Structures are given as C-alpha cells and as structure tokens.
Structure 1
Amino acid sequence: MLESSSFKRDVLVMEQPSGACHRIGLKAIKQLLIKSDIYLSSTLLDACLAAGVSVVILPGRAREPARHLFPETNGALRLRLAQYAAYLDPQQRLEIAQQFIIGKITAQADCLRRHGIDLPSERFIRHVRASTDIASLMGIEGASTARYFHRWAVLLNPGWEFTGRNRRPPRDPINALLSLSYTLASHAVGRLAAQAGFETALGFLHSPSAGRASLALDVVEPLRPWIDDWVLTFCNDSGITPDSFVTDPKTGCRLTKPAFGQFFQRWYTSAEHGLEHQTRAQLELLRTKLGCEPNWSLPPADAA
C-alpha cells in the first residue's frame, strides 16, 4: 500500500508507510492500477497519458464498474470513420457482433476439450449465424456460457465451490477471481485498441454507454475462455485457497491483501503477455473487417 506519490522529471516516486521509497522512470511503466484511495497529481496523469501509460481504477464499491483511462494515438481518423460507419449499418454491426460470439463459443469448446471434456458447439453457432438482432445474439451467448460453466466447474480441485457465474458483487472466490481477471483483461484490451487507433467507447456487441470501453468488452468476449483457463490453473496450482478470500455483504467476496499481491504478480508475469498477443490478432481481424489495412505500428507485447 502506498502512503503518497510524487512525480519529478519523468520519475514516479512512491513512498510506503514503512518508509520504503521507490523511484520508477515513466518509460518503464505500462499501466497504473489503483485499488485504494491515493492522491495522483494532474501533472502525473497528464504525463502518463502522453507517454502511453494507461490507468485502471478498481471499484471501491460492490456495484460500481472499474474506470479506465486510455492514451490515444494520432492519425486514426480513417479507422474511426470506418468503425462509426460499421456501427451505423445495422447489418454490418450484427455481422461483427456475431463474429465475436462465434469466437467465444468456439474458444469455450476448445478450453474444455483441453481438459478432456467434449462440448459440441455447432448448434449454438448455427443459432448465432441465424440471429437477426443484438438482443437475440446476447441471449444465445448467455445460454452457451451457462452450459459451458456448468461443465467447467468440475475441473476445480477439491475445496473450491462453483455453481455458476455471478457478479457485482461476486459472491464466491471463483467469481471474485473471474471478475478481477476480466477487469484487468478489459483494460489491457482497451489500452491496445486505443494505441491501434480504435474508438474504445464504440462497441458493436456492447452498446455505447457513458464511461464504458464498449469495444474492449467486445474484443474480450472471444478471449474470456482463455482467461477462464488461466483462472482455473491459478486456483489449482498457485497455493491460493478459499481461505485467501474475505466476504462482506456489501462488497462481496474479495482476495485478502497478501493474496492480492500474489494474484497480481502471477497475472502480470504469466497472463498479460499471452493476452496481448491474442488481443492484437483480434484487433487485426476487426481492422480487416472494417476494410482497413493491417496496422504494423502496434508496439511489441513486451514493450513497457
């Protein structure tokens, strides 16, 4: 936990209650993640966004969404015009949304297959292709995901309990891990989408809403089964147990402070690199669908 922070000459100075002081150059930072009250100067935030550093603020209350600040790229006008045109064309918007859901359903089957469970997906994919509006498409996705999680639960080691997805607030350890992982993944996707020139607020499957990175939520959909698999592995071999969580009627189920540190260390060393590679592939597919040339200017996945 930080007690205070300051910013001088492109160096972030962080002081802890123990008296320890850390200095980190802004060029070595990819994102700031904030999960408690802390003062950040406007100078620091401006410098972060100018340097391509994104900021994610985890919710302090159970039913609040995470907040994301993404640095934006220059020279993205043509791509954004194509994105808006596709959104305003009902048929093209539906086709793009269908591709996100087909990718998700296919990935769900692949995830379970890696663990020895066969879950045929052809029927759901046929329904997706036959859907005529976003509402029916979301209904098909919901049914597919409920079926998938029903099978997924048996893959957990003894001691873990999971009966299905719940959120805002998550009511059990597995859902707490899934919600936290999806939040971090959405931020990573949104950051890369902004860097690539997309309008992150304009989604196709998820309608635009104030303060929401709807396009990031779209792109995360086919990546969720990969994130689920990462959470499954984390639960089964990290040493984290259901005792590593606390539950509050208002804020729901959350990791303890020591377990938070273990989770973040594991996420940023084993999850984010692979997630960024997959995100780039999804963004290039979307760029092609919008009729724009591939963007080879995206920074490498291990860039700061």
Structure 2
Amino acid sequence: MDKATLIADQAGACLSFKQGVIVLEQPGGACHRVGVESIKQILVTADLYLSSRLIDSCLAAGVSLVILPGRQREPARHLFPQAEGALWVRLAQYAAYLDEQQRLALAQDFVTRKIESQAECLRQRGLHLPMEQFLSSVRKAPDIPGLLGVEGASTARYFNHWSTLLDPDWGFQGRSRRPPRDPVNALMSLGYTLICHAVGRLAARDGFETALGFLHAPASGRPSLALDLIEPLRPWVDEWVLTALHDEQGFGPEDFRIDPETGCRLTKEASGRFFQRWYTGAEHWLEHVAREHLEGLRARLGLAGEEFQPLWPAAED
C-alpha cells in the first residue's frame, strides 16, 4: 500500500510525536493519530506548532516535511531526511559539479529535456511549435549563464502560446511568481512546489545532496538539485493545470482569492480538493518519471552499477 501524505492546514494546530505516532491536535479539540511508518511526507499549509521531537523523529524515519509560505512572496521550506552510508554518491556529485565541462553537460541535459517536454505539452493540445533552434542553442551554450538564457527564451515562447489554450477570463498574461498574479500561475506555483519536494525527497533517499545542483547554483535554503530534476517535469505539471481548469470537476474563478499585495491563491476549501486531486493522481506518475531521471543522473555520474540500500524503505508504487 502507498504511504500517505499528512496535510496540516488548520492554524493553531499542534503536531507532535509520541511513541512512534504522529499526533495532530486541532484547536477545536479534535485529535488525530497516525503511525509514522505509514507516512512519507508532511505538508504544512498553516501557522501551527511543530515539536522539535516530531521533526527529528520524522527525518530519522525517512519522512520529509514541506512548509508552504504564509506569504506568497516567500519560498517554501523543504526538510529532507539525508541518507547515511552514501558518501560515495555525494562525492561523485561534488566532483561533477567542480568539473566545469561535466557540470555544463548535465545542465544541458536538464534543459534539453525540458524544451522537448514543452513541445510535447503543446503538441498534446494541438499546437506544433518548432523547438530545433532552442535545442541547437542548448548544445552550443558555452557556459551556465548562456544556457539559462536559452532556457528563459524557450520558456517565454512556450508560455506565449498559452493564450490560445486558456479562456481570457483567467487573466493569464505569462508566468508570474512570488506572488502569482492569477489562478493559472497560482496552480502552477503550487504544483511546482509539491513536485520539487517529492523529487527532493527521492533524491535525498538515494544519497544525493539536494542543495547542490548543476543548472541551479547552490543557495541557502534552496533544493537546487531538486530544481534541476523537475525542469523536464514542469511542462507536465502545466498540462495537469490545464486539465484541471478545463475539467467540470476542476476549478473555477470562485475557488481563488486575489489580493494586490499577496497575489492569488486557492481558498481553503479548494485547496483541499487540489491536494486530493494531486496526491491521488499527479504525484504518483511524476514520482515514477522522477525515479527514471534519477537513474539517468546516477548513470551520468558513473553510479549506475552501484547498489545502495537506504535506512528507510521506499514508498511503494
């Protein structure tokens, strides 16, 4: 059976840990208990109390935590359990990062697959956008800044075609973040955050240093490797968002609130439906693809033949 995601979304609640059990106490008096072995991650979306013992015990058991920002201008915070006994994985990762040519080659691979995924996403919607010029520019990029320039130009062109895929009433005029300015961007930002956490958790489980990316430079508090790995997955999150906006059981304008200062976000009721839809569908498939990408990275780092057993079991497919 798949391990579950625990969502803590009520302000003033308390999450603690007692004798192998995660305890969620609600302000109204309700109390929920769940065994730590049945949880793969905890999603915190409200201002609540987290005991230090809970955090320590969850990380020791292989349970990750993602804390969504109270303000849309702030980044999400990710806490990943770090596998022990896999120093050789991180050493190979560090060596590749310090080798300028290998770092560039790995970054080029992430961007190439992202551009190909962008083209496929549009093709699924009946739009055929030639991307050969961008793919050629990726191969010729002399360094990481030049590569980022190509990626930015490709993504801008990709989103320029979204006007034909969306009702103008959604107000989408291009990608905006921190804060997202419209419902489309709000859904994309939330989806990107959740898949970033899922991929980071898988990478940490395999022994990688999630803070050390190849395309994304290391920065305090940023899971740069996870951001690298999700680049080819972003267009598939976009496709999921498009489906949710067109589906009769999806989302409508009434499911969002927009503030000039804090941006656009889902209502609490709509957030519950979003998470239900995401965790019962999108994440499972995206995790499967992410595992394939991790295997590809291991092969590029010369680790494909190595066996590594983490301290905690993987969530079942």
* Paired-residue identity, %: 63
Partner of 2:6: none
Corresponding residue number in structure 2 for 1:278? 289
- Deviation, structure 1 residue 123: 1.0
- Cα deviation code 1:154-182 (max 9, x no counterpart): 22356423111011111111111111111
Deviations along 1:68-109, whole A, 9 cap, x unmatched?
100011221111111111111111100000000000000111
Aligned 1:1-304 pairs, distance under 5 A: 1=10, 3-157=13-167, 159-237=169-247, 238-294=249-305, 297=309, 302=316
- Where 2:217 maps in the other structure, the secondary structure is coil
For residues 99 and 162 of structure 1, the distance between their equivalents in structure 2, rounded to whole angstroms, comes to 29
Q: How far off is 1:301 after superposition?
A: 5.2
- Aligned 8 A contact 1:54 1:191 in 2: yes
Query: In the TM superposition, what whole-angstrom CA distance separates every residue of 1:256-297 from its partner, at most 9, and x where no partner exists?
Result: 111111111111111110011011011111111111125575
Kindly provide the amino acid, as one letter, of the partner of residue 198 in structure 2: A
Q: Is the 8 A contact 2:40 2:315 kept in 1?
A: no
Contact 2:89–2:303 at 8 Å: present in 1 too?
Answer: yes
8 Å contact from structure 1 (residues 276, 301) kept in 2: no
1:37 and 1:270 map into 2 onto residues whose CA distance is 27
Task: Tell me the distance in 2 between the aligned counterparts of 1:86 and 1:191.
Answer: 21
Give the direction of change, closer, same or farther, for the CA distance of 1:296–1:275 in structure 2 (3 Å limit): farther
Q: Is the 8 A contact 2:82 2:204 kept in 1?
A: yes
Q: C-alpha root-mean-square deviation of aligned residues, in Å?
A: 1.6
User: How many residue pairs are counted as aligned between the two chains?
Assistant: 303
Q: Secondary structure at the match of 1:30?
A: strand
TM-score when normalising by structure 2: 0.91
CA distance in structure 2 between the partners assigned to 1:272 and 1:239 by the alignment: 17
Question: What is the CA–CA distance in structure 1 between the aligned matches of 2:26 and 2:135, rounded to whole Å?
Answer: 52
Aligned partner of 1:259: which letter?
A: A
8 A Cα contact 2:206 2:308, kept in partner: no
Question: CA offset at residue 40 of structure 1?
Answer: 1.1
Residue 291 of structure 1 aligns to which amino acid in structure 2? G
How many Å apart are 1:20 and its aligned residue? 2.7
- The 8 Å contact of residues 157 and 236 in structure 1, kept in 2 or not, is answered as no
